[in-house]
Amino acid sequence: MMTKAEIVAQILNGRGRAPAAGGYAFAPSNIALCKYWGKRDEELNLPVTASLSISLGRLGSTTKLSLRPDSDVVRLDKKELAPDSPFARRIGAFLDLFRRDAGMYFEVEAVNTIPTAAGFASSASGFAALVTALDELFGWELDKRELSILARLGSGSACRSLHHGFVEWRAGTRPDGMDSYGERLDAAWPELRLGLLVITAAEKSMGSRPAMKRTIETCALYKSWPEKAAADLALLKKAIAEKDFHLLGATAESNALAMHATMIASWPPVVYWRPESLAAMQAIWAARANAVPVYFTMDAGPNLKLIFQAGDEAAVRGVFPDLKVVRPFDAEP
């Protein structure tokens, strides 16, 4: 099994120059329409299956980076994190991969424009922004594929946050994961809208990493997940190519429910749903029965992400007045 440090050495391979004064980058959050659920390699975050996401335009993370002589400082949303907090330690361990000597420390200023740790994938945009800022700081001049692989080492789904629009994370087959990265699909869907429905902004009860691990280890139904994910990926690509909204929405919703089903059927059960999550699902099904074309997806948390088109925004807002509506294709380069 390869280590992260070996992958980093292979990618950097002597690249870089004297560090610049700082690095700065933005990366969008992404929401998977076909989920990343299960790792074939825990160390390198290599997935069992391919996945497909849509990036959230201007919602995501910015990261400002500079060097410091003594110890790391991590600020998240303007608040300095205790050095022994889980997130600071996770960032520190990731930065260890890039220190040129034992006396090199970083000041990291991360700002999320989306609620942290409430199932809105801030670690994805956070690690994608961080590697892009590192690239600027050290002058590596890596391409998006290489940055995507580095971001994956921090958080699997981060490899999809290097691009706007629809992104496919190729599962790859190589043990070193050099063929497992995010690639932009050549497709735009400007009328597509995502609606963020915050059931709770509280920290979730269990991180997605242990939830995924427990599912693989204890859920008998997970054996059928790879086949389901492969079928859904093909349907989503067809839906995107043909701009078939109902196919897109139904496939994404079914994929998310199947992922939650594998958690529900794990032991002990992993149930991120709150009663309010279920009430929101029922409101969506009722709206659909009422001819409002709206679907949802959910990640490893209690919140819902609604999927609809611009022309139906008023009808969807009629059901969910507090919805935060995102235009994924607004921030297109």
**Binding interface with a second copy (CB under 8 A):** 219-225, 227-228, 231, 250, 253-254, 257-258, 260-262, 264-265, 267-269, 271, 273-276, 278-279, 281-282, 285
Are the CB atoms for 184 and 164 separated by under 8 Å? yes
For the CB of residue 259, give the shortest distance to a second copy in the complex, in Å: 9
Select 45 or 266, whichever has its Cβ closest to a second copy.
Answer: 266
Select 275 or 321, whichever has its Cβ closest to a second copy.
Answer: 275
Q: How far is CA 261 from CA 156, 231, 255, 289, in A?
A: 21, 17, 10, 23
Distance CA 272, CA 277 (A): 9
User: What stretches of the chain show up as alpha helix (H) in DSSP?
Assistant: 4-12, 86-96, 122-138, 144-154, 208-218, 225-242, 245-264, 275-289, 313-319
Select 131 or 236, whichever has its Cβ closest to a second copy.
Answer: 236
Tell me whether residue 206 is exposed, middle or buried, using C-beta atoms within 10 angstroms of its C-beta: 0 to 12, 13 to 18, 19 or more.
middle
Select 241 or 279, whichever has its Cβ closest to a second copy.
Answer: 279
For the CB of residue 185, give the shortest distance to a second copy in the complex, in Å: 23
For the CB of residue 262, give the shortest distance to a second copy in the complex, in Å: 7
Select 134 or 304, whichever has its Cβ closest to a second copy.
Answer: 304
Nearest partner of 140 among 33, 19, 226, judged by Cα? 19
Could you please report the per-residue DSSP string of 200-261? --SPPSS-HHHHHHHHHHH-GGGGGHHHHHHHHHHHHHHHHHHT-HHHHHHHHHHHHHHHHH
Three-state DSSP state, 116: coil
For the CB of residue 279, give the shortest distance to a second copy in the complex, in Å: 5
The maximal CA–CA distance of the chain, rounded, in angstroms, is 63
Eight-class DSSP state of 314:
H
For the CB of residue 85, give the shortest distance to a second copy in the complex, in Å: 25
Select 82 or 278, whichever has its Cβ closest to a second copy.
Answer: 278
Select 46 or 298, whichever has its Cβ closest to a second copy.
Answer: 298
Q: How far is CA 191 from the centre of its chain?
A: 22
For the CB of residue 301, give the shortest distance to a second copy in the complex, in Å: 15
Select 37 or 181, whichever has its Cβ closest to a second copy.
Answer: 37
Residue 12 CB neighbour total at 10 angstroms: 16
Q: Count of alpha carbons within 13 Å of 94, Cβ hemisphere only?
A: 25
Select 281 or 325, whichever has its Cβ closest to a second copy.
Answer: 281
For the CB of residue 220, give the shortest distance to a second copy in the complex, in Å: 4
Eight-class DSSP state of 158:
G
Distance CA 234, CA 244 (A): 13
For the CB of residue 124, give the shortest distance to a second copy in the complex, in Å: 24
For the CB of residue 218, give the shortest distance to a second copy in the complex, in Å: 9
Distance CA 262, CA 213 (A): 11
